Structure 1
């Protein structure tokens, strides 16, 4: 398969940007990155009255229908206007990586080749992991699924740090603070109705039509997951963001919630930042777009002094478009470096790939790695860039004899072989195709296509890493997820069991759709012929699993925990004036989709910072 490499709008390969160095400026807070972690945090700090600079490497596409309309999310993730291509590894073994069916190559003639038989001379790139360089971050190109982690995913931080504000019961308040619910009757005391983040759901009435073939699939899946199949249509309308006892052990259907309004308009940090910028007299927020942060600056008098913690005082930047080499429009652009100062703090919110890169370029990270690139050591923190984790994802894709007229079936359930009582599979089924990420995804297999996509939760292995390739801030780090490295057989067996349950439900579909012809994991009649058992499917998922919820590379942990990077208030251990607030802070992957949980911790971080500042101001008045 060949795909266009660059937009036709790119006419020439030019460009060293000759811009004058930016004038020095000082703000109370500098926030680096405008995604689910940084965007809401910057807006909240400005709304509390603190001068705040929000820096974003991309532009603003908030008025572009490709981004503002949820229906176009596949186009948004493919759009070169905002896309950053990280070519990642799943394994240390290159041969294992090259089994991935959507391995991508640069043909050298302006196109990508995707597949396992590249043309002669093609340059190997790897496995695409697109991120969004745009105001609002990846919340501007995702499918906007809004779900919450298991309680244990919050409580692990309590256990590590002793900070009870991270308890699952307390973290619910942050959903309420940000939410503008558009699908429940008003008055639920546990939900928000006047926040900045709209939440909505889709229709489920189709499930009451017993002649609909997909209703048969729904009922069969209900029976297979311990639900009352006679109430399947009612259960499909359940609120996925609900709070009930033993929720994490309860297999159920849900109506998929999205951070979008009830007209299909995407809601994200973009909306909140823009609303804050709209009242500059009241809210002192400044936004710098197309600005690449190259490193955090430190007060040199505090670096390397025994008994003194280094203090962050600002950032170094480069200004211009497409400066980062992950940008497919990058053509060697560079720009002079300038500095911006922070009177209070620098907060890094670049995401699970870029936050550890920025810390390392700034001298914070494993000392041996920094020494390799002659980066002066500010603070030895071996956990920076380690502990990279993600959900494992895969799908069952089959072709019916006729199109399946179906709404979306969403379920969260426990496979019988799960190691504990918690649910471990999040699935959504419908007449679509989703098989991972590559340039030009997804493949349209025809109107008869039907997919059950599945996300494996609570992955046992978080052995991945983000390491520097060089000291060049425009360079892209080396990213290796090391899939299934720890307890891999257990995770693979859970994926296979989940697939078997979904397959049995799908194959209950009646004529004229029946019989489904499976494309994967069990192609054609392999299963009927006894040639697609557990081991065969394990090998399929081992080579073809994908992911797009990277977390945990600057993980919160106790001060005596060797690989911890942050304390429970997001402060970098052993450094003053520096925090990291984004999905990299989670010690473990937070549930099935990290977007809404990351927005929640962004609000928590703002609350923590403002409380600290108020306390300092009160103490200063006493003196």
Structure 2
């Protein structure tokens, strides 16, 4: 159950920003008033889904400074309430929790900019990684089985299954995606109901809530603290023998002032980067760790050449269809999932209100305002096109706000891409390329997934909710184009046609990963290769996205590595 002591509080000085229980968050500018001699056992860059549980765990025994470039999620209705999900993602203001970017592929995407990270802006679904994923990652299965429940007891709930979700659940079973595994966090073939970080009121818990498990005497959290680079010192007497070692972090506050934070001298102090798939390889590069040619282009002094930094990126491609319903259906985000053996996951969302106000607010997960311009081929999508759509949405027929979505996500895409820095400014989002469907196997799995959607659409359970008022093909086509939603393709037996549908309607489900992969940039303990006192612990280390939604495993990893690091320093009882 979510912690009941979460609060939002700003005092007269403006230094105290908000708090969780007894833990206070401060604006980064307040750091200038701290004693210059203060040092930390751990400096964590990034207060997201991995950084928050990691900071809470390490602070139980050691001093921790957590730097988060965004603000507080508390008091932000667009973060806290399910009905504002797409509004939060659509907010492009400089201080919003969600920061949009467009990949070079033309797909509009988003990255989190808030304490709690992606858990503050996602659809809330919570499901664990498979046992094979845990095994392949080389994780200690016993510690994994202890770390997931630590998260779940604090912020995860069992959903009340909404009508559209129930219809899709039954449609999945009729389509042969079986057995039904009931409510479970486990990753199992078949159909299941997963967990959610939204409670029965639609109120969101986030990874930031996990900070309440930390020791407030040992944990200092700075908001609006944008890391500029990792401070590295070379040890050794000869050039050949020198080994760079992290000694601190340079960061900028919300006023643009720069600060230096240092590790405690001696011992086993470390800087831990948890800035996500885009932020972590970007910060390593700005610190002089990355491809030699990239560093030369940016005029960043080379500290350690590693050609894999920023490479091997993937984003799970998603395609969807919209089904008009006879009457408005209750709003829901992801609650059920069909885990197929063909390599695709099937999920659902719904919910469009009946009043004019709610019609304008609840266009669901595929809203054009959040960049899901799915009827326009990727290269033609722009943020301006999304804004134009939002301005004219009131002109759309009422029927397009009344229905549900079926979503298909390709599991473990084999297509990979890369990121490259635009400049040496830490606040500039890198150029990102994902190369969707460049591997033919990804395209085959998408086609299989769309054909599964067709079977679900034809199931009696979905048919009982969907519209049967005799729309002509022409009417439906006009409706789907104007509303920027896709109906089931006409010729699902035509593989070439479905392949083109996959390419033309691809969007993101925000599960991108890679850039600092294990075995390429970090070792199995997430230490940066060739650099001392520095780790990366977040989704950038993954070679594939775990489970049907990665947030459970990213939070688990933060707790897991925190406990593992404590045990390494204090013995087996650490973290108990």
1:286 to 210, 220, 230: 220
**Structure 1 residue 348: Cα displacement:** 0.6
Q: Which of 251, 256, 261 lines up with 2:190 in the alignment?
A: 251
Partner of 2:514: 552
* Counterpart Cα distance in 1 of 2:439 and 2:515: 17
- The answer for the alignment partner of 2:496 in structure 1 is 535
- Specify whether residues 302 and 611 from structure 1 end up closer, same or farther in structure 2 by C-alpha distance, changes over 3 A only: farther
Q: Is the 8 A contact 2:346 2:449 kept in 1?
A: no
Instruction: Measure how far apart 1:390 and its partner are.
Output: 2.0
Mapped pair 1:471 → 2:483: no
Distance, in Å, in 2 between the alignment partners of 1:595 and 1:356 is 19
| Match 1:65 to one of 60, 77, 91 | 77
Whether the 8 Å contact between 1:225 and 1:413 is mirrored in structure 2 is no
Per the TM alignment, residue 302 of structure 1 is displaced from its structure 2 partner at its CA by: 5.2
Summarize deviations over 1:91-133 as a string: whole Å, max 9, x none.
3xxxxx3xxxxxxxxxxxxxxxxxxxxxxxxxxxxx4322221
- 2:102 aligned residue: 88
SS at match of 2:443: helix
Offset of 1:364 from its aligned partner? 0.8
Over 3 Å counting, the alpha-carbon distance change for 1:318 and 1:27 in structure 2 is same
CA contact (8 A) 1:426 1:457 kept: no
Question: Aligned Cα RMSD in Å?
Answer: 3.5
Call closer, same or farther: CA 1:489–1:338 in 2, change over 3 Å: same
1:104-123 equivalence runs, <5 A: none
Q: How does 1:42-441 map to 2 (within 5 A)?
A: 42-48=55-61, 50-79=62-91, 80=93, 81-89=95-103, 91=105, 97=106, 127-158=107-138, 165=140, 167=141, 171-180=144-153, 197-204=154-161, 218-227=169-178, 235=180, 238-242=182-186, 248=188, 250-252=189-191, 254-274=192-212, 276=214, 280=216, 283-301=217-235, 305-320=239-254, 335-343=256-264, 344-404=269-329, 410-413=335-338, 418=342, 424-431=344-351, 433-435=364-366, 437-438=370-371
8 Å contact from structure 1 (residues 85, 128) kept in 2: no
Pairwise CA distance, 1:603: 0.6
**Is the Cα contact below 8 Å between 1:217 and 1:509 reproduced in 2?**
no
Deviation at 1:590? 1.2
Q: Work out whether residues 404 and 513 of structure 1, in 8 Å CA contact, stay in contact via their aligned partners in 2.
A: no
Alignment partners' CA distance in 2, 1:580 and 1:409: 29
Change (3 A) 1:396 1:515: farther
Give the TM-score of the pair, scaled to structure 2. Answer: 0.76
3-state SS, counterpart of residue 201 of structure 1: coil
* Aligned equivalents of 1:133, 1:216: Cα separation in 2: 35
**Contact 2:443/2:502, CA 8 A, preserved across alignment:** no
Q: CA deviation at 1:491?
A: 3.2
In structure 1, how many angstroms separate the alpha carbons of the residues matched to 2:251 and 2:238?
24
Structure 2, unpaired ranges of 5+: 1-27, 353-363, 372-385
Deviations 1:462-490 (A, max 9, x none): 41212111122232211111111223432
Higher helix share: 2
Of stretches 495-504 and 400-409 in structure 1, the one that deviates more from structure 2 is: 400-409
- Equivalent pairs counted in the alignment come to 494
Q: Do structure 1's residue 36 and structure 2's residue 49 form an aligned pair?
A: yes
Describe the superposition over 1:168-221 as per-residue Cα deviations: whole angstroms up to 9, x where unpaired.
x652321122221xxxxxxxxxxxxxxxx32112324x76xxxxx986665443
Give the secondary-structure state (helix, strand or coil) at the position aligned to 1:352.
helix
Q: Deviations over 1:344-370 (max 9, x none)?
A: 110111110011000000011111211
Residue 439 of structure 2 is aligned to residue 459 of structure 1? no
CA distance 1:494–1:203, change in 2 (3 Å): same
CA pair 214-470 structure 1, distance change in 2 beyond 3 A: closer
**TM-score, normalising length: structure 1:** 0.71
Residue 83 of structure 2 contacts residue 331 of structure 2 at CA under 8 Å; is this kept in 1? no
